[in-house]
Structure 1
Amino acid sequence: MWFILHLELLRGREVKVPKYKKVSRMATWLLPGLQIKRWFFLTFLGTFCLALGGAIVLDLHPINQSIEMVRTVAQKSPSSLTGSIVVFLGFIFFLLGWKKANSSIMDAIDPGDRAHLLETLYRRRKLNRGPKIVAIGGGTGLSTILKGLKHITNNITAVVTVGDDGGSSGRLREEMGVLPPGDIRNCIAALADEEDLVTELFQYRFKSGNGLEGHSFGNLFLSALCAITGDMVTAVKESSKVLAIRGQVLPATLDDMRLVAELEDGRVIMGESHIPEAGGKIKRLRTEPANLQPLEDAVHAIETADIIILGPGSLYTSIIPNLLIDGITETISNSRAKKIYICNIMTQPGETDDFSAADHVRTILDHSRYKNIIDAVFVNDSLPKNLALKYKAVNSVPVKLDIENLKKLGVKVVIKRLIEKNKEGLVRHSPRRLARAVYHWYKNSHHYKSVSVFNKENSEEHQFI
Structure 2
Amino acid sequence: MKAIYWLKPGLQIKRWVVLGVLGILLLAFSLSYFFEMIQLHGGLRFFIGLLGIFFIYHGFHRGLKSVAQDIATVNGSLNKKLLSKGPKVVVIGGGTGLSILLRGLKLYTANITVVVSVADDGGGSGKLREDLGMLPPGDIRNCILALAEMEPTMEQLLQYRFQEGSLKGQSFGNLFIASMNGISNNFEEAIKKISEVLAVTGEVYPVTLENIILYAALKNGKVVKGESNIPQKSVEENSAVDRVFIKPKEAEGLKEVVEAIYGADIIVLGPGSLYTSILPNLLVKNITEAIRRSNNKTVYISNIMTQPGETDGYSVMDHVNAILEHCPKLVIDYVIANDGEVFDGAYYKYQQEGASIVKITEKDREDLKNKGIKFIESNLVEIKKDYVRHDAVQLSKIIVDLANGMKRKK
Q: Could you tell me the TM-score, scaled by structure 2's length?
A: 0.80
Secondary structure at the residue paired with 2:267?
Answer: strand
Alignment counterpart, residue 294 of structure 1, candidates 229, 234, 253: 253
Deviation per CA, 1:130-185: give whole Å up to 9, x if none: 00000000011111111111001111000000000000000000000000000000
The one-letter code matched in structure 2 to 1:223 is A
Alignment counterpart, residue 146 of structure 1, candidates 89, 98, 102: 102
Distance 1:113 1:234, change over 3 A: farther
How far 1:425 sits from its partner (Å)? 5.4
Which residue does 1:432 correspond to in 2? 393
The one-letter code matched in structure 1 to 2:102 is L
Secondary structure at the residue paired with 2:166?
Answer: coil
How far 1:355 sits from its partner (Å)? 0.9
Which residue does 1:334 correspond to in 2? 293
Which residue does 1:26 correspond to in 2? none
Q: Could you tell me the TM-score, scaled by structure 1's length?
A: 0.71
Alignment counterpart, residue 378 of structure 1, candidates 336, 339, 343: 336
How far 1:437 sits from its partner (Å)? 1.5
Secondary structure at the residue paired with 2:79?
Answer: helix
Which residue does 1:416 correspond to in 2? 378
How far 1:262 sits from its partner (Å)? 0.5
Which residue does 2:114 correspond to in 1? 158
Q: Does 1:216 align with 2:174?
A: no
Alignment counterpart, residue 354 of structure 2, candidates 395, 405, 420: 395
For the 8 Å contact 1:419–1:433, the answer to whether it is kept is: no
Which residue does 1:310 correspond to in 2? 269
Secondary structure at the residue paired with 1:259?
Answer: strand
Q: Does 1:128 align with 2:84?
A: yes
How far 1:197 sits from its partner (Å)? 2.6
> Structure 2 matches for 1:76-115, cutoff 5 A?
103=11
Deviation per CA, 1:98-128: give whole Å up to 9, x if none: 9979717999xxx897674223222111100
Distance 1:195 1:148, change over 3 A: farther
Secondary structure at the residue paired with 2:382?
Answer: coil
Distance 1:97 1:317, change over 3 A: same
The one-letter code matched in structure 2 to 1:147 is R
Number of aligned pairs? 348
Which residue does 1:36 correspond to in 2? none
For the 8 Å contact 2:288–2:330, the answer to whether it is kept is: no
How far 1:251 sits from its partner (Å)? 0.2
Which stretch shifts more, 188-197 or 212-221? 188-197
Which residue does 1:235 correspond to in 2? 190
Find the aligned partners of 2:118 and 2:159 in 1 and give their Cα distance. Answer: 18
Which residue does 1:46 correspond to in 2? none
Which residue does 1:264 correspond to in 2? 219
Distance 1:365 1:106, change over 3 A: farther
Which residue does 1:181 correspond to in 2? 137
How far 1:267 sits from its partner (Å)? 0.5
Secondary structure at the residue paired with 2:126?
Answer: helix
CA RMSD of aligned residues (A): 2.5
For the 8 Å contact 1:339–1:375, the answer to whether it is kept is: yes
Which residue does 1:348 correspond to in 2? 307
Find the aligned partners of 1:145 and 1:214 in 2 and give their Cα distance. Answer: 25
Fraction of identical pairs, as percent:
45
Q: Give the structure with the larger helix fraction.
A: 2
How far 1:384 sits from its partner (Å)? 2.9
Q: Does 1:226 align with 2:181?
A: yes
Distance 1:105 1:207, change over 3 A: farther
The one-letter code matched in structure 1 to 2:253 is P
The one-letter code matched in structure 2 to 1:136 is I
Find the aligned partners of 1:426 and 1:329 in 2 and give their Cα distance. Answer: 32
Find the aligned partners of 1:241 and 1:425 in 2 and give their Cα distance. Answer: 34
Distance 1:235 1:115, change over 3 A: farther
Find the aligned partners of 1:331 and 1:410 in 2 and give their Cα distance. Answer: 20
The one-letter code matched in structure 2 to 1:414 is I
Secondary structure at the residue paired with 1:388?
Answer: helix
Secondary structure at the residue paired with 1:283?
Answer: strand
Find the aligned partners of 1:346 and 1:217 in 2 and give their Cα distance. Answer: 30
Which residue does 1:251 correspond to in 2? 206
How far 1:194 sits from its partner (Å)? 3.9
Find the aligned partners of 1:178 and 1:239 in 2 and give their Cα distance. Answer: 16
Unaligned runs of 5+ in 1: 1-92, 449-465
